[in-house]
Structure 1
Amino acid sequence: MAHLTREEVLKSGEVAPEYRTAFEARPVNISGADFFEQRAARAAHLQKLRHLYPIPGPIPEHVTEKIVLMPARGGNHIRTRVYQPVHNISEGGSPLIVMYHEGGWSMGDLTDEDMNCRMFAKELGAVCVNVEYRLAPEHKFPIGVNDCWDILKWAITMSAELKATPSRGLIVGGASAGGNIAAVLALLARDEKLDPPITGQYLCVPALLPNTNVPGHLKHLYESRTKSVNDPVLKNLQPGLIEEIYAPDPKSPLWDPFNHSQGHLGAAKAFFQVGGLDPLRDEAVLYDRLLREAGVLTRFELYGGYGHMFWTNYPQMHMSVKFADDTLKGVKWLLEK
């Protein structure tokens, strides 16, 4: 979907009947006595659903997997999982895809991007690196995003050992907080003249524009943060909660890619997947427009009537199956010259 009208965006906020049936029957509950209990409850909730995913577990006949501790600054080592295709179906070598998980910079682990990495390796012949960056509040901003940058550079340096050919294609991607990290690194790679350059960014339900930094002329288009009250996952997210946990520098380009001081000219092409009910919807729509105005190619899929991370919490829905299929098509598009 390209060049969304405001009417299309607003209409996408009407709850889809299939989704309402799902979340009213099985509300998402990740409550706990404190933050760390909530983190554990989230992990347990998703683990109970993964057998319902299109790829529910390892597929060794198609993809090999191994845990690798990759070096980051300060002598630290970050846990990653590397996925390699058993049968290389890519002409010219395997592209390199580096994925960053969701979880508000404070939750999540390698299991969150397992399915996508297995799918990209099996269907696209890509080598994937799934990064378990350090989390807040134990490791506040910018530790997590620095981990992700360090691992990206390490993966490029070690691409021969990983059996990857990043000149064939180099993609960064992720959902929610992971989408923010991907957008941040795509601009950082441009500024630092990363070689080979990032060729694609996969921005799935991404956080891209903090509510405190919205330009005045866009405030009337930035409504979903406060008006998307039907999202069953993020509807109770209090303003400032993530900032309190993660403690970002509010003006840093490592936190706010939208207001980057160098603009967006020369950024890698981008593939968006966005839920119409998602409180993060409008910032994705605005970022898509911002990239287009800078001459960046984009592809945008808007799921009217569905919310934040709907396909992970309700994987049996028809739209969740379509979402996974769209993910594969969109990332394949990112790899096209």
Structure 2
Amino acid sequence: MAHLTREEVLGSGEVTPEYRKAFEARPVEISGSNFSEYRTSRAAPLEKLRHLYPISGPISDQVKETLHEVPTRDGTSIRVKVYQPVSGPPEGGSPLIMMYHEGGWCMGDLTDEDLNCRMFARGLGATCVNVEYRYVYSQLDPPCLFTMLRESRLAPENQFPIGVNDCWDALKWSIANSPMLGATPSRGLVDGGASAGGNIAAVLALRSRDEKLDPPVTGQYLCVPVVLPDTNVPAHISHLYQSRTSNISDPVLKGLSPGSVEAMYGPETNSPLWDPFNHPGGHQGAAKAFFQVCGLDPLRDEAVLYDRVLRESGVLTRFELYGGYGHMFWTNYPELQASKDFVEDTVKGLRWLLER
């Protein structure tokens, strides 16, 4: 897709009748008196919808799934799920795809990327590693909404940069153990994710370049990603960064107040492990990128701007914009034709990332 005009970007923020009908009939409601209830209110409706997904559960005759413990730099471990094509690797070997789940750095688990990993293993012959990184347990606005659950793994000390470092450790572990995983990362190495996972993917694609990872990340899948914090928007493009406050019709995010993501994750404002847009080393030599972005999403404009800065640095990109639809719409409303199209586009985009 060529660079989007501003008119095309702004026009994508008009709600489609199909989507409005869907979310008015079945609103996304995430709430609770404590964090456990809040997590459940998000996870339970998604679980009830998975029978509508193109792949609704394990497909053991086509994709083998195994759980592994990955050691981390601080002496603990995290869980990953590995997906391998039962038929064996394609000619040249199975590329390696790393996936990092969404959830705003305070929710989410392996089930969030099950569908993508099964599709990529089955349709692309890839070995996929689905990473359950540690993320923050934090109080949200209003502060009294949640009580601290000390028995939960969602502890306050799991703030930035623990999650992104976990994902880097999992990436290096996957490369080191690629023979055991049936992967040939020199055939292609993609990292990806949605929302918070998209932020991690963008950050680690640049980290791969900077630390000369061998083999390097060759493609990044950035799905409705967080890539430009509202605290760090350069003055000369601030007039193009509007969707965080103007996109108030999104039924999932319902608009982001300034600093809301930052307060949850607790990042260092100028760290390259948080802000890929303003990376001090620039973007030249970064892996090619595939974007999927939604017109109603408060995160829309930062993805559009990141696509532009990558292209201006000579990075090859592919950009799909879903006008009139909101953040994570395809998971919350999988019955829509637009959601089915989105999922098909995901596989096409990953196939493009893996092309030599």
| TM-score, normalised by the number of residues in structure 2 | 0.93
Provide, for residues 176-221 of structure 1, a one-character-per-residue CA deviation record: whole Å limited to 9, x for no partner. 0000000000000100000001000000000000001000000000
| Superposed counterparts of 1:243-262, under 5 Å | 243-262=262-281
Instruction: Report whether the alignment pairs 1:201 with 2:195.
Output: no
Query: What's 2:48 paired with?
Result: 48
| Superposed counterparts of 1:61-140, under 5 Å | 61-88=61-88, 90-137=90-137, 138=155, 139-140=158-159
Distance 2:355 2:200 in 1: 22
Does structure 1 retain, via aligned residues, the 8 Å contact 2:244–2:256? Answer: no
Amino acid at match of 1:187: L
Query: What's 2:342 paired with?
Result: 323
Instruction: Report whether the alignment pairs 1:17 with 2:51.
Output: no
Amino acid at match of 1:55: I
Amino acid at match of 1:43: A
Amino acid at match of 1:221: L
Does structure 1 retain, via aligned residues, the 8 Å contact 2:72–2:166? Answer: yes
Query: What's 1:141 paired with?
Result: 160
Query: What's 1:335 paired with?
Result: 354
Instruction: Report whether the alignment pairs 1:271 with 2:290.
Output: yes
Question: What secondary structure, in the 3-state scheme, does the structure 1 residue paired with 2:231 have?
Answer: helix
Question: What secondary structure, in the 3-state scheme, does the structure 2 residue paired with 1:197 have?
Answer: coil
Distance 1:246 1:6 in 2: 31
Corresponding residue pairs, total: 337
Q: Which runs of 4+ in 1 moved over 3 A?
A: none
Question: What secondary structure, in the 3-state scheme, does the structure 2 residue paired with 1:189 have?
Answer: helix
Does structure 2 retain, via aligned residues, the 8 Å contact 1:30–1:45? Answer: no
Amino acid at match of 1:85: P
User: Aligned-residue CA RMSD in angstroms?
Assistant: 0.9
Does structure 1 retain, via aligned residues, the 8 Å contact 2:196–2:226? Answer: yes
Instruction: Report whether the alignment pairs 1:180 with 2:212.
Output: no
Question: What secondary structure, in the 3-state scheme, does the structure 2 residue paired with 1:261 have?
Answer: coil
Does structure 1 retain, via aligned residues, the 8 Å contact 2:225–2:303? Answer: yes
- Report % sequence identity: 72
Question: Of the candidates 172, 181, 185, which is equivalent to residue 162 of structure 1?
Answer: 181
Q: How much has 1:74 moved relative to structure 2?
A: 1.3
Structure 1, 33-42 or 327-336: larger mean CA deviation: 33-42
Provide, for residues 262-303 of structure 1, a one-character-per-residue CA deviation record: whole Å limited to 9, x for no partner. 000000000000000000000000000000000000000000
Q: How much has 1:90 moved relative to structure 2?
A: 2.4
Distance 1:111 1:307 in 2: 21
Q: How much has 1:241 moved relative to structure 2?
A: 2.7
Instruction: Report whether the alignment pairs 1:291 with 2:310.
Output: yes
Question: Of the candidates 270, 281, 284, which is equivalent to residue 300 of structure 2?
Answer: 281
Does structure 2 retain, via aligned residues, the 8 Å contact 1:89–1:124? Answer: no
Gaps of 5+ in 1: none
Query: What's 2:319 paired with?
Result: 300
Question: What secondary structure, in the 3-state scheme, does the structure 2 residue paired with 1:278 have?
Answer: coil
Does structure 2 retain, via aligned residues, the 8 Å contact 1:174–1:182? Answer: yes
Provide, for residues 102-150 of structure 1, a one-character-per-residue CA deviation record: whole Å limited to 9, x for no partner. 0001100000000000000000000000000001022100000000000
| TM-score, normalised by the number of residues in structure 1 | 0.99
Question: What secondary structure, in the 3-state scheme, does the structure 2 residue paired with 1:74 have?
Answer: coil
Does structure 1 retain, via aligned residues, the 8 Å contact 2:227–2:277? Answer: yes
Amino acid at match of 1:25: A
Distance 1:327 1:90 in 2: 20
Distance 2:295 2:198 in 1: 17
Amino acid at match of 2:292: Q
Q: How much has 1:236 moved relative to structure 2?
A: 4.7
Gaps of 5+ in 2: 138-154
Amino acid at match of 2:169: D
Distance 2:117 2:194 in 1: 13
